[in-house]
Amino acid sequence: MGSEEKKKEYLDLKTEIKEISQGIDEVYQEKEELFEQINQFKDELSPYYDQISQHNEEIIKLKEELSKKKAEKEVIFVELNESNQKFKKIQDQKPEKSEGQNLDSLKKKINAMEYFIQTEALTFDKEKKMMRSINQLKKQHDSLLSSESYWKDYKDLRDKTRDLRRDFLKLKKEVREINSKIKDLVDKKKVIFDKLDEIKDSRKELLDRVSQIKEEYKDKISNKKDKVKVLKELAVELGEKEPEDKQSRRREKDIATQEKDIGELLQKKGKLTMDDLLSLRRN
């Protein structure tokens, strides 16, 4: 190959290396811009994680309250069943109501008739007849006394059953409302998780592109290194000043430092998280 041809090859190679260097800078710049976007995801994810944490705390409190309400409801349910059974039983024993009679009027009649017998001279038959009437009134009095006691028990049991039913229905409603609140929070968490997945998918796409760029970056550095080697050989032959490749040395040093950091972190932690990789790639 003649001197002119070598000179032309030398100049063409310098031009080509310059273009490769520009390509390396462009790839490097794209990588930097991608990492800026990726770092923004961390700030974007943080509020969603805070919301999930807050919802989890609310759900824990609601579940504790729900457990207490269910226990109370179960106790009242048992009492209500017992009260219902007693109320049904007492309804079956319901006595007939006495029309126009009350304990005071019967007591007055009995006392008046006994006083009349004691103070008036009566024939044997009339006194006997009055005694039968007194005994009959006493039976009515005792029956009415028993009936009034029954109606008091009946009313007390009816009121107790009604109050228990009211308390049971109230607790049932509260349990339903708490369950509804828990469901709402779970649904909100699902929406947030869907949003997180969407953000993570976007971040993964960028990380995949970063990995692709990294390979392109290495290939360009390697390609440039090979061409610089040829350029140096031509420079010696042509008596030209040997070109320096500060860019390649600097980029190779960056890659070597990054790989060293990965090795040290792996040895220390045993496993790298996505944030670890992101930090190392960023550097």
Q: Tell me the HSE value of 208 on the side-chain side, using a 13 A CA sphere.
A: 6
Q: How far apart are CA 11 and CA 8, in angstroms?
A: 5
Q: Is the pLDDT of residue 216 over 90?
A: no
Are residues 128 and 216 part of one domain?
A: yes
Domain encompassing residue 228: 3-242
For the segment 235-247, what is each residue's pLDDT rounded down to a tens digit?
887 777 766 655 5
Same domain, 258 and 207: no
Arithmetic mean of pLDDT, 175-183: 95
CATH code for the domain in which residue 226 is found? 1.10.287
Please report how many Cα atoms fall inside a 13 Å half-sphere around the Cα of residue 42, on the Cβ side: 9
Closest CA to 66 of 167, 180, 163: 180
Same domain, 197 and 254: no
| Judgement on whether residues 149 and 205 belong to the same structural domain of the protein | yes
Cα 236 to chain center, whole Å?
72
Average pLDDT over residues 148-168: 81
147 and 256 in a single domain? The answer is no
Q: What is the dihedral of CA 11, 13, 18, 21, to 10 degrees?
A: -160
For the chain, helix, strand, coil in percent to 5 are 90, 0, 10
Euclidean distance between the first and final Cα of the chain, in Å? 45
Residue 178 and residue 111 share a domain: yes
- What token pair was written down for 246? 């500060």
Task: Tell me: do 158 and 269 sit in the same domain.
Answer: no
Q: Kindly report, residue by residue over 217-233, the tens digit of the pLDDT.
A: 888 888 888 888 888 88
200 plus 251 within the same structural domain? no
Considering the domain architecture, whether residues 258 and 218 belong to the same structural domain is answered as no
Q: Which pLDDT band, with edges at 50, 70 and 90, does 105 fall under?
A: confident
Confidence (pTM): 0.53
Q: Are residues 271 and 178 in the same domain?
A: no
The answer on 226 and 104 residing in a single domain is yes
94 vs 63, more confident: 63
Both 248 and 238 in one domain: the answer is: no
Total number of domains in the chain: 2
CA–CA gap between residue 112 and residue 136 (Å, rounded): 14
